[in-house]
Amino acid sequence: MKVYISVDMEGLAGIATWGEVDTSKKEASEVLYEHLTALLQGLFSARVHIEHVLISDAHGSGTAIPYRICEDFDRVSLVHGPIRKDYMMSGLDSSYDRVIFLGYHAGIGTKHGIMDHTYSSSLIHSVWINNKRMNEALINAAFAAHHGVPICLVVGDEALGEELRNEFNGRWLFVSTKTGLGRYAAIMKPKRQLFEEIKSAAAQALEIPRNELPLFKFEKPVELKIELKDTVYADLAELIPGVERIDGRTVKFVHDDYSVVFNAIMAIVYVAMAARDWRS
């Protein structure tokens, strides 16, 4: 079995503010490493043989996970570094058997979602695909489904779990790391209990028959709408071929190929980032 893991940080336990996801600080990287270690221990304890695990370092610039994870566990590879195609899901293809999301968080605008955002807290106000409000887990799950690979396990904050339970059909597992009290406050689950839950869920997730796992798909054509936080971001975004300006802050992109739509999100983010940094 080949397993793909996409790793973010805002949904991890012990984290409630932006400063705590700054991976230039040793403490932040260690929090992430401990969660990832528990997950991998659970996977490799399962009765199912694992041929290979690919981990996508999908937080910020993609430099949060120390390379030593590939030394601590055999048959593990790491996607590392910024500005890459398929960003949070780089390296995934149809050869993988199932996908796991670790450290994922609720979408922008979610009540009691910890540091709620969707791909960019400073640039994006809302994201819709085929008129459905999106969070990062749904966007990325649809990319996995585009390659025929289902989701088996999500580890993140409770607000995310509530969002996904309304969207994912089939059998899959969710481990809640914390319960939000506000955007920057949460009740954290006891650490030993949480890590045991992650280990147990990881092993169980591999035993769910693949045909019973959820494939979260969109009908064609796929229509992406992004409401940006500033009109100047839309000024630049509409220069991208195929991107249509709807109103002052909202742009639209339509395509039959979900992977093209998926990468259009990051293209819009990057050009908006250029406008933000130019103004500063």
Asked whether the predicted pLDDT for residue 226 surpasses 80, the reply is yes
pLDDT-derived band at 88, boundaries 50, 70, 90: very high
Asked whether the predicted pLDDT for residue 80 surpasses 90, the reply is yes
Q: What percentage of the chain exceeds 90 in pLDDT?
A: 91
Across the range 214-233, mean pLDDT stands at 96
Note whether 81 and 99 are same-domain residues. Answer: yes
Give the domain range for residue 148. Answer: 2-124+135-212
pLDDT-derived band at 53, boundaries 50, 70, 90: very high
**What's the CATH code of the domain at 257?**
3.30.1360.130
Note whether 39 and 174 are same-domain residues. Answer: yes
pLDDT at position 121 is 85
Is 205 part of any domain? yes
pLDDT-derived band at 26, boundaries 50, 70, 90: confident
pLDDT-derived band at 280, boundaries 50, 70, 90: low
Choosing from 169, 185, 212, the residue where a domain stops is: 212
User: Could you give the number of structural domains in the chain?
Assistant: 2
Listed range (25-29, 42-46, 98-102) with the worst mean pLDDT:
25-29
Note whether 238 and 173 are same-domain residues. Answer: no
Q: What percentage of the chain exceeds 70 in pLDDT?
A: 99
Is 130 part of any domain? no
pLDDT at position 165 is 93
- DSSP states of 171-185 as a string? S-EEEE-EEEEETTE
Contact 27, 114 (CB under 8 A): no
Note whether 29 and 66 are same-domain residues. Answer: yes
- DSSP states of 188-252 as a string? EPPHHHHHHHHHHHHHHHTTS-GGGS-----PSSEEEEEEESSHHHHHHHTTSTT-EE-SSSEEE
Q: Is 253 or 278 the better-scoring residue by pLDDT?
A: 253
pLDDT at position 28 is 79
Contact 63, 53 (CB under 8 A): no
pLDDT per residue over 189-211, tens digit each? Answer: 999 999 999 999 999 999 999 99
Note whether 194 and 228 are same-domain residues. Answer: no
- One-letter amino acid for residue 99 of the chain: V
Note whether 208 and 227 are same-domain residues. Answer: no
Note whether 206 and 67 are same-domain residues. Answer: yes
CA 218 to mean position of chain CA atoms: 18
Note whether 160 and 201 are same-domain residues. Answer: yes
Note whether 149 and 263 are same-domain residues. Answer: no
pLDDT at position 279 is 60
Contact 15, 21 (CB under 8 A): yes
pLDDT per residue over 106-159, tens digit each? Answer: 999 999 999 999 999 889 999 999 999 999 999 999 999 999 999 999 999 999
User: How far apart are alpha carbons 227 and 108 in whole angstroms?
Assistant: 11
